[in-house]
């Protein structure tokens, strides 16, 4: 009985449960940040938020890898999408209890980051990250409650594979050492290009198909009617391609920064190329 209740709370798409689960995830990640900051980083808020983001991303990466290989609803469509073989498949109304939970878990971490924004907001371009976190915090739980868009959330969660390496680049032990910085930066860049940019064309085709086609569903909740349905219709179409545009923008920044760091490392240490080859 207790196990069933826990599973219901973790996997349910009931709007009230989704709301409280998201709030609980925000609180949970705040407690994780607090613990990490005071246990390992002398109270540093920004170090705690970066470490928390790395932990959340690592958990998401492992979990979503299981989803795209074993989930009976998501896995077949994911690989069909990568092969441009979706046909007439409904991409909007795919159910997935696993993604229902993982999306609120991720939204909770984004909420934690927003609560600690003053610690990591440094430059005007960080506004893009704030907008990203805010949209995910608001829209992903709504997607879960509406039972729509979970397939695309699964695709976007696969992007977290690269995030732990990005967070590692923030810490002084990596940032102040040329060779570790280049190696971890290389792994980050490769995973970013492979998982985010490499899948971008097929995801763009799938997103266009989902936006251009009105997929009816018998699973829509009772409140998905009238003005709410109209608003969500436009919200889905306006925000459907935003993650792809954001990752295309971030992708060119990542590639440019990577080559800049490689040039800097090679200039500082003439033997860096040999060391990198041996380390690989």
From the list 69, 60, 151, 139, the residue with the least C-alpha distance to 105 is: 60
- 269 confidence band (pLDDT: 50, 70, 90): low
0.85 cut: is pTM over it?
yes
pLDDT of the residue at 270 = 53
- 280 confidence band (pLDDT: 50, 70, 90): very low
pLDDT of the residue at 247 = 93
pLDDT of the residue at 173 = 87
pLDDT of the residue at 1 = 61
pLDDT of the residue at 219 = 77
For residue 275, give both structure tokens: 């060391």
pLDDT of the residue at 2 = 63
pLDDT of the residue at 83 = 95
Give the whole-angstrom CA distance, residue 1 versus residue 194: 43
pLDDT at 277 over 60: no
Q: Are 29 and 111 in contact (CB under 8 A)?
A: yes
Give the whole-angstrom CA distance, residue 32 versus residue 49: 9
pLDDT of the residue at 278 = 45
pLDDT of the residue at 3 = 61
pLDDT at 274 over 60: no
- 279 confidence band (pLDDT: 50, 70, 90): very low
Residue 99 CB neighbours (<10 A): 29
From the list 138, 135, 188, 197, the residue with the least C-alpha distance to 164 is: 188
- pLDDT 10s digits, 222-268: 888 899 989 998 998 888 889 999 999 999 999 998 888 778 767 76
pLDDT of the residue at 20 = 94
- pLDDT 10s digits, 185-222: 899 999 999 999 999 999 999 999 988 887 777 778 88
If 0-12 CB within 10 Å is exposed, 13-18 middle and 19+ buried, where does residue 204 land?
middle
Residue 128 CB neighbours (<10 A): 12
- pLDDT 10s digits, 109-155: 999 999 999 999 988 889 999 999 999 999 999 999 999 999 999 99
pLDDT of the residue at 53 = 95
pLDDT at 181 over 70: yes
Per the prediction, the chain carries an average pLDDT of 89
**Residue 137 C-beta-side C-alpha neighbours within 13 Å:** 18
From the list 214, 199, 209, the residue with the least C-alpha distance to 244 is: 199
């Amino acid at each position: 009985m207790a196990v069933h209740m826990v599973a219901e709370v973790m996997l349910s798409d009931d709007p009230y449960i989704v709301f409280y689960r998201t709030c609980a995830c925000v609180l949970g990640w705040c407690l994780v940040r607090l613990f990490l900051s005071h246990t390992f980083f002398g109270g540093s808020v920004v170090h705690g938020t970066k470490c928390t983001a790395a932990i959340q991303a690592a958990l998401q990466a492992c979990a979503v890898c299981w989803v795209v290989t074993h989930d009976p609803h998501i896995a077949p469509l994911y690989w069909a999408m990568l092969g441009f073989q979706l046909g007439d498949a409904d991409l909007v109304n795919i159910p997935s209890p696993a993604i229902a939970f993982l999306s609120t878990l991720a939204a909770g971490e984004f909420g934690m980051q927003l609560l600690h924004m003053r610690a990591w907001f440094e430059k005007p371009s960080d506004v893009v990250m704030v907008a990203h976190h805010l949209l995910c915090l608001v829209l992903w739980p709504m997607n879960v409650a509406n039972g729509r868009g979970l397939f695309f959330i699964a695709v976007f969660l696969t992007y977290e594979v690269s995030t732990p390496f990005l967070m590692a680049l923030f810490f002084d032990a990596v940032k102040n050492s040329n060779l570790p910085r280049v190696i971890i930066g290389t792994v980050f860049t490769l995973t970013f290009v492979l998982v985010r940019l490499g899948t971008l064309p097929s995801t763009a085709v799938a997103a266009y198909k989902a936006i251009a086609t009105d997929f009816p569903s018998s699973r829509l909740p009772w409140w998905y009617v009238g003005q709410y349905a109209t608003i969500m219709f436009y919200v889905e179409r306006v925000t459907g391609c935003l993650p792809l545009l954001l990752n295309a923008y971030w992708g060119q920044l990542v590639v440019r920064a990577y080559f800049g760091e490689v040039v800097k490392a090679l200039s500082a240490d003439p033997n860096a190329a040999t060391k990198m080859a041996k380390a690989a």
